[in-house]
Amino acid sequence: MTGSPVLVHDRESLERALDAQDEAALAADDADGGRPYLRAVVMTMGALHDGHLALVRRARELADAVVVTIFVNPLQFGPTEDLARYPRDLEGDLRRLTGEGLLGAGDVVLAPTVDVVYPGGDPVVRVAAGAVGDVLEGAARPGHLDGVLTVVLKLMHLTRPDVAVFGAKDAQQLAAVRRMVRDLDVPVEVVAHPTVREDDGLALSSRNAYLSAAERARALALSAALRAGAAAAGGGPDAVRTAARATLDAALTADDAVDYVALVDPATFADADATTGDALLLVAARIGATRLIDNAPVALGGAGGTDPTSAAAPGADGVRTAGGAA
Catalytic residue among 52, 144, 157, 193: 52
Write out the binding residues for (R)-pantoate.
76, 173
- 3-state SS record for the chain: CCCCCEEECCHHHHHHHHHHHHHHHHHHHHHHCCCCCCEEEEEECCCCCHHHHHHHHHHHHHCCEEEEEECCCHHHCCCCCCCCCCCCCHHHHHHHHECCCCECCCCEEECCCHHHHCCCCCCCCCCCCHHHHCCCHHHHCCCHHHHHHHHHHHHHHHHCCCEEEEECCCHHHHHHHHHHHHHCCCCCEEEEECCCECCCCCECCHHHHHCCHHHHHHHHHHHHHHHHHHHCHHHCHHHHHHHHHHHHHHHCCCCCEEEEEEEECCCCCCECCCCCEEEEEEEEEEECCEEEEEEEEEEECCCCCCCCCCCCCCCCCCEEECCCCC
144 included as an active-site residue: no
Beta strand 189-193 with 163-167 is: parallel
Q: Which of 56, 50, 319 is nearest to 196 (CA)?
A: 50
Task: Give the residue ranges of the annotated binding site.
Answer: 45-52, 76, 167-170, 173, 196, 204-207
Return binding residues for beta-alanine.
76
- Residue positions annotated with a catalytic role: 52
